[in-house]
Amino acid sequence: MSSSVTITEEMIAEIANRMADEGQKVSPLAIWSEVHTGSVVAVAAALRKWRETRALRAPQVAERPALPEVVTDTMRDALDRLWTSAQDEAERAVSRRLNALTQRVEDASNERDDALAELQNTVEELESGRRQLVEMTDAYHAKTDEAGRLAEDVAQAMQRADAAELRVHELEARIAALEAEVERLSAELEAEREAHSQRETEAASAGSETADAAELAQTTPDAANPEQIAQLESELTAIRALLEAEQQAHAMQTQEAARARDELDSTSHELYETQVKLAKLTEERSGDASEIARLTATLSAAEERAEVLQQHASELAARASAPGVSAEAPSAAAPEGGAGAEEIEALKLQISRDAEAHAAALAEARENMKKWSDYANGLKQQLVQANEKMIVINARGVGEASLSRKLAEELSRLQPEHELARRENQQQLIVESIGAQLEQQGYQYDPKTGAVTKQTQTV
């Protein structure tokens, strides 16, 4: 954590004095939470110096009372020599133990500082992972919405393909009926012509009047049948043209469905990658939770050792500073030792609460990740089903495209001069159909490049 404000020992001492005067518990985490800058290790080091300075400023115990006047003259010299010797020996022993305990306290403090620094780094890494998890969740939501939209597009494309297929079947049935009618009328016309030729041959010998009457009688049916056949052929041509247009529109819908399927495949791949990233991030957060638990245990052990050593050091320091009043020295050093113990206990409780909060947050994150994983699996299954449907639609489109080519060949054979028999007219019809269809959906199609762009609405 970095800031433009530099933490100084004077700043920490001022905050610690204010908190002590207000009756609050003075701890490194409490001061660090108030300054909002620097590191916990630096705050703990400055707080340790403040405690040492405050301990030195503690009022000294009053001098021991003088010996009674009745024994001053006779025992002063002997008691002074005995007291001096005992005091020197006690001071040397206490100094040795005090130095050893001071070193142990320093080691425990360093261990605690290292654990605090590592805990702070782990918390920052956990916060970074949380932000990354939020970003990945937002991206996952966006991909889910896009997949839903593509699924709706696929469903609409399937409906349009089914409607086009039904229309094609109807037109094919109509064409078959008209072709049968044309064949029947053609057969009748051919039979009438043969009968007419036979009657003309017979009428040649019977006389001109009989021939004229027969010719007049046969002219009317001969003229009626070709007229009816021409009408049926015209209707057949119109229906074939309509069928060709339907086939072109269906081919366009097939292309649109194929494009939607490609988008679904791409979205499915992106969703899979997102799921992999989320799983990896979940594993990392689980590892961070284990690391926090380990650091908390290490820090608790270090604090316990530091607490015990600090109590011993406080007692020895009190004895060394006032050996003559052993009953008063422990009572004078007890507040300082108690204050240090309270601070360490408060620090331990604060760290425990933070660890519990982080563990709860990690448990909630794992639960959310499990829910999103289940949702992603269900969505993936839906995408697989949609992909299978798109494969069927694509195969159906290939069959209908083959049917369209055969119908176009048949139209070219029956009416070579028809406008739909020309390749450029067919392409123009396809382009116009694609443009009209995409325009209804709010898109614009460029026939030169084949690009599709979103139309901008002008106010």
Q: Dump pLDDT digits (tens) for 3-44.
A: 445 778 888 889 889 988 888 888 888 888 888 777 888 888
Tally of domains in the chain: 1
- Each residue of 369-407: pLDDT tens digit? 677 767 667 776 776 776 676 676 666 666 666 666 777
Assigned domain for 429 exists: no
133-169: burial string, b at 16+ Cβ within 10 Å, e else? beebbeebeebbebbeebbebbeebbebbeebbebbe
Tell me how far apart the alpha carbons of residues 279 and 328 are, in angstroms, rounded to a whole number: 63
Is-contact 238 146, C-beta < 8 A? no
Assigned domain for 123 exists: yes
User: For the ranges 95-104, 279-288, 446-455, which has the lowest average pLDDT?
Assistant: 279-288
pLDDT of residue 326: 41
Is pTM beyond 0.75? Reply is no
pLDDT of residue 312: 63
pLDDT of residue 43: 85
248/225: higher pLDDT: 248
Assigned domain for 44 exists: no
The residue-averaged pLDDT of 345-354 equals 66
Assigned domain for 164 exists: yes
Tell me how far apart the alpha carbons of residues 9 and 18 are, in angstroms, rounded to a whole number: 14
The count of C-alpha atoms lying within 13 angstroms of the C-alpha of 440, restricted to the half-sphere facing its C-beta, is: 5
Of 404, 403, 139, nearest in space to 276 by CA: 139
Residue 221 confidence (pLDDT) above 60: no
Tell me how far apart the alpha carbons of residues 117 and 124 are, in angstroms, rounded to a whole number: 11
234/2: higher pLDDT: 234
Of 408, 423, 444, nearest in space to 246 by CA: 408
Average pLDDT, the chain: 71
Assigned domain for 279 exists: yes
Tell me which amino acid residue 38 is: G
Tell me how far apart the alpha carbons of residues 366 and 358 are, in angstroms, rounded to a whole number: 12
Tell me which amino acid residue 145 is: D
Tell me how far apart the alpha carbons of residues 292 and 376 are, in angstroms, rounded to a whole number: 30
Q: Residue 373: which domain range?
A: 86-421
Tell me how far apart the alpha carbons of residues 205 and 148 are, in angstroms, rounded to a whole number: 86
Structure tokens of 429? 């019809």
- The DSSP secondary-structure symbol of 442 reads T
**Residue 10 CA to chain centroid, in angstroms?**
47
Assigned domain for 37 exists: no
Residue in the structure block whose two tokens are 């916990």:
40
Tell me which amino acid residue 105 is: V
Assigned domain for 78 exists: no
Tell me how far apart the alpha carbons of residues 67 and 50 are, in angstroms, rounded to a whole number: 38
Assigned domain for 236 exists: yes
